[in-house]
Structures are given as C-alpha cells and as structure tokens.
Chain A
Amino acid sequence: MSKLSIDRVSKVFEKKQGEVVVALDDISLEIEETEFVCFVGPSGCGKTTLLRIIAGLETATSGEVSLMGAPIRGPDPKRGMVFQEYSLFPWRTVKNNITFGLEMRGVPKADQVSAAETYLAMVGLEQFREAYPYELSGGMRQRVAIARALANEPEVLLMDEPFGALDAQTRNAMQRELLEIWEKTQKTILFVTHSVDEAVFLADRIVILSPRPGRICDTIRVDLPRPRERTGPEFADVRRYVLGLMDSCRLSSKI
C-alpha cells in the first residue's frame, strides 16, 4: 500500500457570478513512503488547491485522498503544511511558534521545550529562539515554518512554493537544507513549485500539471544521485527534458 493515495480527485469552484472553474480534473497519484514529489505547472493549474485538499483545508468535489488507507476528512496534524505566504504567528516567539502544535495536543511542557530545541537546531536558528517573526528575514521565517510543521511529527509534509518569495541565493541554500532535513527525518514530502530548476534539484519524482482544467500531464522519475550539481550536464539534460514536456503539455491543453 502506498503512503498517500490521491484517487480521481476533482475540484470545481463556483464563482459568484455563477461562473464555474474546474481547478482539478480527475487527479490520481500514489505517493510512496519517504518519497520527495514535486508538482510543477504554470500558475492557476491547481497546485495550491491540490495541496489544500490533501491538507484537509478544502474538500474535493469528487474523488478522495487517503493517508495510509484512511480517507482525509479535515485538517489534521498528521499532514504538516508550509504555506507560500509567511504564516508564522507574529505574536509568538520563534520557539513558541514551533511548539504551537505540541501545545494544542497537550504535550507536556518539558517535551515541548526539547522538541523546540531539536527543530531549532535542525534549521540552524538556535540563537533566534526568543525572537519575534518581524525580526527575521524571509528565509529564516520559512525555516521556522518548516520547524513548526516538523515538530508535530507529521506523516507527510506539504509545501506550497515555500521558497517562492526568496532571492535566488537564499533559495538555493534553503533547498540544500531541506534535502538534509528530509534525509534526517525520512519524511514524505509533497512540494509545489513553478521552478523546474527547483523541482529537478529536489525531487525523486516530478508531476507536471497542466491548467484549465488542472490535470496531470506527465510524471518523471529523477534518478540523478544527490547532492545534485546544478551546473552539471545531466542536470541540464533532465531540466531540458522537463521543460520540453511542459511545453507540449501547454500545447496539448490549448487544443
């Protein structure tokens, strides 16, 4: 049995004027334990919607997502989410942001503190434990958001363009750190991006979505050994291949 099973999921939004948007159309996908899957596609192709359905923040119009055989009915700490926007609670310190989920679950204070230290160390922000989010840079905020999601020990980590707002250098550093964290924690990660470069650097498997209606156009397994060399010829080959697929997806969806 696969870890996460997306079974014929469709999502239709009705806008106010009665206009109908098919955000997702018949999406099926099986995701394995500890797999790192990237979703790429132009904006508006339903990437966020798919992640929100898996998180339980949105309900599918038809179809079902199940985690280890159990259908998803609503938000649950088993699925951690890192949002595209800065979602840290500004009134809580870094440490108290990280322990939020544990607090909600009634984990004893001492365990909360030790968990906070573990994940602060994992994202390299020990000196900032008492800082408030406004004191942090964008990259640091997303690190804390990752630590906050991981502290809950979720089965799956959902990430919606988490590095989209960062400058290229920070972004590359964050990608390397995320891979280290992934190797350390052995999490299953679903990562949305519109950057092919990011997807090729990170993913075991890349899922290409095409817009209007949002469909899976193709999936590619990336077998390059890690750490991957962005400037290497194999990397460039995979990238070119993915870009080519995306182009033909766009053409075929237009017809």
Chain B
Amino acid sequence: MDATRTHLLRNRLLPLVSIAAAAIVWQVVAQFIVQNKNLLPSVTDVLGAFLVLLESGRLASDFATSLTHFGIGVGAALLIGIPLGMAMGWFRDLDTAANPIIEILRPVPPLAWIPFAIIWFGLTPVAAGFIVFVGAFFPVLVNTYAGFKGVPRLFVEAARVLGCTSPGRLIRHVALPAAMPSIATGIRIGMGVGWMCLVAAEFFVGGRYGLGKQLWVSYSLQQMSNVVVYMLLLGILGLAIDAAFRGYVDGKLLRWRTGEVA
C-alpha cells in the first residue's frame, strides 16, 4: 500500500516539478542571460501579458473564432472522409477508381491550398475552415478506409449466418463497429493535423479574431510576450481537445476494447 502511494505521489508530483523547473530555467535565462524581451520574454512577462489580455476580454472571441474555424474544417472532414472511406473500404471498384486521385492529392501540403481557399471562399471563416479541412480530411479518410479493409471476414460471415445479409446492414452492424478503433485513430490524427494548420490558415484568410490571427498580429507589433501567450493557449487548447476526444472514445465508444486508442 505504501508502495502504491509513493507511486501515485511520484506520478502526480513529478510532472509538476518538471514544469516548475522548466519555468524557473526559462525565467533565469530570459531575465539574466538574454535580457531582451523581444528575443525571449520571461515567464513573468508572459504572465503579465496574459493578465492584460484576460482583462481586455477579447480572448473569448479569439477562442470562439478559432474553434469555429476548427469546427468547420474537422466537421467537413468527418462528414466527407468517413462515408468516403467506408465506401472505398467496402466496394472494391470504388477503391480502384478513387485511389489514384487520393494518392496524388494526399501529399499536397494543406497550406498549398491557401490561394484557392481565398479565391473560392474569400477572406471568410469558411476559407480558414477549408485549410483545416484539407489537413484533417486525409487522416480521417485513410484510417476509415484501412479500418473497413481490415474488418475480419469471420465477423462478416458470423453476421450473415445470423441473418444480417444486406450490404447496408453488414456495414452498419458489423463493419462500422469493427472499424471504429481505426476511425477514432483517424479522427484524432486528423484533428491534430487540422489544429496545426489553424495558425497559418488564420494568418492568411482569417478575419479580426482567432488565436492564430492574434499571434501574427502580436508579432507584427513586436509584442513577443503576447506571441508566447497565444502559442501556449494554442498548445493547451489543442491538448484539451485531444484529451476530451480521447476520454469520450475510451469511455463510451470503445469501452469494449482493452488498451487504448492510437
């Protein structure tokens, strides 16, 4: 019992200690060695900047805007990527037909789509969402596809013998649940890539708000403490989204599975 308590203490305490240590090293380096706010703002500079931003009350709008861009992109990626991946994984002819197009488009970096995002959608949230979509779409598609390809034949046959015979019902009752771990992995990776695309998307096509937008604005105003605040917010929010999704998947969607997703 003593051993488990020390263990718990260690697992809780060590991360806190290491974060504190990193903050102290950062503070010392910034304050006493670099001594230049524009090259490296210190912890206290950043905290101060954060408090000022918090008081200004604009962070909420930035959050909301970024989440809107992200939501549009990821939502569209799921809405198109999952059904397309399912269909390609299940129907061989569609797979053969669509595969070359996908393989050509997939390596194109999402940010290379920015010119067309602007031409097609203007300087709107949809344009930023489109860039996020391009980033999130392929991981969702490819993993859904792989999940459907990998559905064990045994499950399909067991279902058919039990009276589940039409393709629609086999997809719904067998292939989809069997592929769910893979689909969940695709969504996680897709959300990660989409989140990475957010900063650039907002810089080029965003409106007045958004965490990524503010990061660039702060940079152009040489407010490097604010830049760090937005960097950290982007990191923490990305982490929170991933943790929330993971919690939902492990707790609800994939409770039947031991171990974890991805």
A contacts, CB < 8 Å to B: 55-57, 74-77, 79-81, 83, 85, 87, 89-93, 100-101, 104-105, 132-134, 148-149, 152
**How far, in angstroms, from A49 to B178 measured CA to CA in the complex?**
26
Chain B residues near A133 (CB-CB < 8 A) = 256
B161 at the interface (CB under 8 A from A): yes
Contact residues, B38-80 vs A (CB, 8 A)? none
B131-151 toward A: CB 8 Å interface, digit per residue (1/0)?
000000000000000000000
**How far, in angstroms, from A57 to B161 measured CA to CA in the complex?**
8
Q: Which residue of the partner chain B has the closest CB to A93?
A: B256
B160-176 toward A: CB 8 Å interface, digit per residue (1/0)?
11111100010001100
**How far, in angstroms, from A79 to B157 measured CA to CA in the complex?**
13
B120 at the interface (CB under 8 A from A): no
Contact among A77, A91, A93, A132 with B163 in the assembled complex (CB-CB below 8 Å): A77
B258 touches A89 (CB 8 A): no
B255 at the interface (CB under 8 A from A): yes
Chain A residues near B257 (CB-CB < 8 A) = 90-91, 134
Chain B residues near A100 (CB-CB < 8 A) = 159, 162, 164, 173
Chain A residues near B155 (CB-CB < 8 A) = 87, 89
Chain A residues near B161 (CB-CB < 8 A) = 55-57, 75-77, 79-81, 149
B contacts, CB < 8 Å to A: 154-155, 157-165, 169, 173-174, 177-178, 180, 254-258
Chain A residues near B160 (CB-CB < 8 A) = 57, 75
**How far, in angstroms, from A101 to B177 measured CA to CA in the complex?**
16
**How far, in angstroms, from A100 to B163 measured CA to CA in the complex?**
9
Known: A83-B154, A89-B155, A89-B174. A152 touches B256 (CB 8 A): no
Q: Contacts A57-B157, A77-B163, A152-B163 given; 14 further ones with Cβ under 8 A?
A: A55-B161, A57-B160, A77-B161, A80-B161, A83-B154, A87-B157, A89-B158, A91-B180, A92-B177, A100-B159, A100-B162, A105-B163, A148-B162, A152-B162
> What is the distance, in angstroms, from A142's C-beta to the closest C-beta of chain B?
13
B158 touches A91 (CB 8 A): no
Chain B residues near A57 (CB-CB < 8 A) = 157, 160-161
B163 touches A104 (CB 8 A): yes
Q: Which residue of the partner chain A has the closest CB to B253?
A: A91
Chain B residues near A134 (CB-CB < 8 A) = 256-258
**How far, in angstroms, from A56 to B162 measured CA to CA in the complex?**
12
Q: Which residue of the partner chain A has the closest CB to B181?
A: A91
**How far, in angstroms, from A89 to B159 measured CA to CA in the complex?**
9
B169 touches A104 (CB 8 A): yes
Chain B residues near A81 (CB-CB < 8 A) = 158, 161
> What is the distance, in angstroms, from B141's C-beta to the closest C-beta of chain A?
22
B163 touches A92 (CB 8 A): no
**How far, in angstroms, from A152 to B158 measured CA to CA in the complex?**
13
> What is the distance, in angstroms, from B166's C-beta to the closest C-beta of chain A?
10
**9 nearest CB pairs, A to B:** A101-B162, A77-B163, A75-B160, A91-B177, A87-B158, A104-B163, A132-B256, A81-B161, A104-B164
B163 touches A101 (CB 8 A): yes
Chain B residues near A93 (CB-CB < 8 A) = 256
Chain B residues near A77 (CB-CB < 8 A) = 161-163
Q: List 19 A-B contacts (CB under 8 A).
A: A57-B157, A57-B160, A75-B160, A76-B161, A76-B163, A77-B161, A77-B163, A79-B161, A83-B157, A85-B154, A87-B157, A89-B159, A89-B174, A90-B256, A104-B162, A105-B163, A134-B256, A134-B258, A152-B162
> What is the distance, in angstroms, from B237's C-beta to the closest C-beta of chain A?
31
